[in-house]
Amino acid sequence: MKILASLLLFLLVNSTLSIAQITTPPAFLRQNRQWVDSVFATLSPDERIAQLIMVAAVSDVKRAVIDPKTSNPAAVEKLIRENKVGGVVFFQGGPVPQARLTNHYQSVSKVPLLIAMDAEFGLAMRIDSTVRYPYQMTLGAIQGNNQLIYEMGSQLATQARRLGVHINFAPVADVNNNPNNPVISFRSFGENKYKVAEKAVAYMRGMQESGLLTSAKHFPGHGDTGTDSHFDLPVITHDRNRIDSLELYPFKALMNNGLSGVMIAHLSIPALDKTPNLPSTLSKPIVSDLLKSELGFQGLIYSDAMNMKGVTKFFPDGKADAMGLEAGMDVLEFTEDVNKSIAEIKKSIAAGRITQAEIDFRCRKVLEAKAWAGLNHYKPVVMDRLYEDLNPKEAELTNRLLTEKALTVLKNENNLLPLRNLDTLKIASVSLGADTVTTFQKTLGLYTTIDHYYLPAKATDAQAADLKSKLGNYNLLLVGVHLGSVSPKTNYGLTDPMRMVLKDLTASGKAVVSVFGNPYALNKMDHPELAKGLVMAYQSTTYTQDLSAQLIFGAIPGEGKLPVTVNADFPYNAGMETPAIGRLKYTIPEELGMDSEVITFKIDSIAKLAITQKATPGCVVQLAKDGKVFFRKAYGKHTYEGPETVQLNDLYDLASVTKITASTLALMSLWDQKKFDLDATMKDYLPDFEKSNKADLPWRKVLTHSARLKAFIVLWKEAQNPDGSWKKKTFSTKQSKKYPISVVDDSLYIFKDYDKTIFKSIRDSPLNEKEGYVYSDLSFILYPQIVKRLTGEDFESYLKNHYYHKLGANTLTFNPKRFYKLEDIVPSERDTFFRMTQLHGQVHDEAAAMLGGLSGHAGLFGTSNDVMKVWQMYLQQGYYGGEQVLSKDALIEFTRYQYPETGSRRGIGFDKPTFKYSGNAPRYASPSSFGHTGYTGIMTWADPAWKLNYVFLSNRVYPTRENNKISSLNIRTAIMDVVYQELLKK
């Protein structure tokens, strides 16, 4: 539907653009004439003039950048009470103070006030704690998806009306073709008049069709100026043909689509009016002759702020206000002195330069706009849930999607982007202009191991030298340039230290550079074209930083194009498309049609129940759908009594999830290579088993737990004498050549060849008398042997070298204390019967501990994010990161029911839902789903039918394994069922 809507919008805009100077009347005209007539009849001549005046206000005087003497609440209230002004335009402040002031101002006004704001990129342009959408230049980079811009306009309108605002002085319709423009630049959609027009129309329609008056600016075009009209009067020297064909084009398109308002710029344009030093706001040939008569515009005509030097420099003391009305304007915005203005306007009426009838006509037009905005049935702003209503999750989704579509890849040497072959890369990230690790770097770190560095904007030579000295050992540098200014006067925030370091990094031949700022800043850099990769993000926000990192790793495609010409290397429409390559994308539930508030509340409730009921001290929950991680949250603490809170990057003991994240993965790989046959027997790959009772057991039966193997053997008990002492050649309390392997740090070591004893115990163990399903650890203890025998590589190296490092799942490891601090590893049980210690950073399972912490049935540790990467590869039938890591056939074969005719629910290695719900899987899981649970409180589950991926990590065995509330309360399955239930509502 969105694609169709975008196409219809495109056709509508372009069809209207082809019709010259035919204006569609705005919708507010001739609204509720009875109310308009009745209100008008109560107004004195002076009050009718006052209806054409809009005064400035702030809701936070301390932060005001305008004169607090005239904009403070008392001064504004006086103007409303005494002069009966028609409207208020709000500047600095916050939403709650502004709403309260709005209600107060409306309560003391004879006629309901029109409330206006400059909210070009959202209410956040003026007030805090509200939504900030992308700049218009960022939106200009989006290709062919103007429906998103329409939705942005619609959402902004809803937010504005919720705050009691009726007019947005937007969109900016200026065509910015001057790189040195000090006042428009990033506020424009770009330099192409057609693109500016179609995007401005989409934005305008979105606002107006959701009940917000608009005012396109800055007529007749402020895009090709080198002077800021806030401080002086810019001069436009182009001839009439150029102005007609270029600057006026977007305004005509907007008028043809029912534009409700136009704002006149303070510009001197000799081609349109030769009067020296006369701003266009005061020019009758521009306002009345061109805009109203020639172009046929019937909507409201607003002045730009009448306190700007572009008008007051030559026309002070209220004279400009009178001249503006004489020129043809309807509303004077930001009048400096209302009393002087009214006095000067009355002089103009008396002198016949403007008639009372003209004043009355414009007053009626203002009242019609008020009626259209609903002020004929005025209601105060409701204060309850104001903040929540002004910050809806839908706006966050729109922000994310707009940003994603705009990101522009300007350089991609040898198709380096998106990054592949992660196992060959040693990566450092560098944020220039940052005082700490940035959002950009944090998101980069979700994809693989990266070392992070940063350099402050005003770094010393010593800081710069120190940074460069640390980067020599890396073969890839991911550089973020964080620009703190949008102004060309300040080089867009590119400081000399940043520029010099950036020059060296791009010259190294190892840098992929992401620019978080104005695209014209490329002109201030030394040879950015030398970068291996270059991503233009247009501004520095959490969205641009987050999504630029995701683009680099191929979670999202690169689709944007430069909306302006920067230089010969980076011309208009430059930009290369880069593909998404199947890596996890990180987003919010709304992108998948789910409600964040509902999802979060329900999952929070279950997780908190688990913690309050002491089912586990803490946990991590991560969920993805369609390859998009939409929920990722940590709860509780490492232990009930300790201070350490659970972090998203904490490593957990995965227990039996090792079976399908390590052993089964390796077996699928060997099956792909035709080195492992599921229908071969145990003796085929374990020669020592040739004369055992297990010799002829087929691996397919073994891997589905239906080969009569015992569930487990208490191996540590077999090493113990009746009196509790250890048998000879089993354990020692001191490390030596004979006892090299630690079972418990500094207190217990196992005999060097004891693994052979363990394997012999498994080989010689009796079989169960009856056939049928019995879950068994025994065969999984043997798979590392098989992997070594068939590949020549040890188990852990095989997994890391061929899978984990390729996937960027580098935290997946055995014996994690070799690589991670204890505070990053969550403890498990207090072992009171074998190792007699708190287990922390060492495997919980006793048999795995006796094998040096490395086994095929337990021993793997990792973070939720890295576990999910493996499982997303499974869910995508072996594809991840642009590579077919495993064959589709392997995933199909291993994850299907093997013996459904016997009632067995098992796949090869994987667990699957029982045919009649029993609680081993989520209640709503499809028959195609597969997963596993872990003894320490772990669960992983993937559902191809719903494209769902779920990871739950906990340490339910702390302090004791006797606590099984995690299962009795159905904590793990209940969380995934929350998602199923939400999806079933759709």
Q: What is the pLDDT of residues 846-856, one digit of tens each?
A: 999 999 999 99
Q: What is the pLDDT of residues 495-511, one digit of tens each?
A: 999 999 999 999 999 99
**Fold match between 2-15+37-390 and 407-581?**
no
Q: pLDDT, tens digit, for every residue of 314-372?
A: 887 678 999 999 999 999 999 989 999 999 999 999 999 999 999 999 999 999 999 99
* Section 753-769 average pLDDT: 96
Give the helix/strand (H/E) hosting 301.
strand 300-303
Confidence of residue 4 (pLDDT cuts 50, 70, 90): very low
- Measured CA to CA, the distance from residue 3 to residue 12 in angstroms comes to 14
Tokens of 574: 């430059």
**pLDDT value at residue 221:** 95
How large is the average pLDDT for residues 274-278? 94
**Contact, 584 vs 628, CB < 8 A?**
yes
Q: Residue for token digits 């120190």? A: 466
Q: Residue 939: beta bridge partners? A: 933, 952
Q: What is the pLDDT of residue 671?
A: 98
Whole-number pLDDT of residue 10: 43
- Cα–chain-centroid distance for residue 800? 30
Sequence-ordered list of residues with C-beta below 8 angstroms from that of 965, at least 6 positions apart, any chain: 610, 613, 614, 615, 616, 956, 971
The pLDDT value recorded for residue 5 is 47
Q: Above 80 in pLDDT, residue 131?
A: yes
Q: Could you please report the per-residue DSSP string of 664-707?
A: HHHHHHHHHTTS--TTSBHHHH-GGGTTSTTTT-BHHHHHTT-S
User: pTM here?
Assistant: 0.95
User: Using omega within 30 degrees of 0 as the cis cutoff, is the peptide bond preceding 392 cis?
Assistant: no
Q: Which of 222-236, 270-284, 542-556, 816-830 has the lowest mean pLDDT?
A: 222-236
Asked whether residue 688 carries a pLDDT value surpassing 60, the answer given is: yes
- For 864-898, the pLDDT digits (tens) are 999 999 999 999 999 999 999 999 999 999 999 99
State the pLDDT at residue 19: 37
Distances (CA, A) of 512 to 417, 479, 480: 9, 6, 9
pLDDT of residue 315: 86
Q: According to the model, what pLDDT value does residue 308 have? A: 83
Task: Indicate whether 468 pLDDT > 80.
Answer: yes
Query: What CATH number matches the domain at 407-581, 3.20.20.70, 3.30.420.610, 3.30.70.1050, 3.40.50.1700?
Result: 3.40.50.1700
Strand, helix or coil at 313?
A: coil
Flag whether pLDDT at 193 surpasses 50. Answer: yes
Tokens 């182009």, residue located: 238
In SS3 terms, 563-591 reads as CCCCCCCCCCCCCECECCCCCCEECCHHH
Residue whose C-alpha is closest to residue 361's, from 433, 292, 424, 259 = 292
CB count in 10 Å sphere of residue 418:
26
Mean pLDDT of the chain: 95
Residue type, 555: A
Closest CA to 3 of 98, 145, 198: 145
Residue type, 312: T
In this predicted model, what pLDDT tens digit does every residue of 509-557 receive, in sequence order?
Answer: 999 999 999 999 999 999 999 999 999 999 999 999 999 999 999 999 9
| Whole-number pLDDT of residue 7 | 45
User: Looking at the domain covering 602-713+765-985, what would its CATH class be?
Assistant: alpha beta
Share of the chain above pLDDT 90, in %: 91
The per-residue pLDDT for 22 is: 64
Q: Would you kindly state where each structural domain of the chain is located, as residue ranges? A: 2-15+37-390, 407-581, 602-713+765-985, 714-759
CA distance 803 to 813: 12
At residue 55, the 3 state secondary structure works out as: strand
| CATH tag for 2-15+37-390 (out of 3.40.309.10, 3.20.20.300, 1.10.10.10, 3.90.79.10) | 3.20.20.300
Distances 871 to 50, 545, 628, 731, 874 between C-alpha atoms, Å: 67, 26, 13, 37, 5
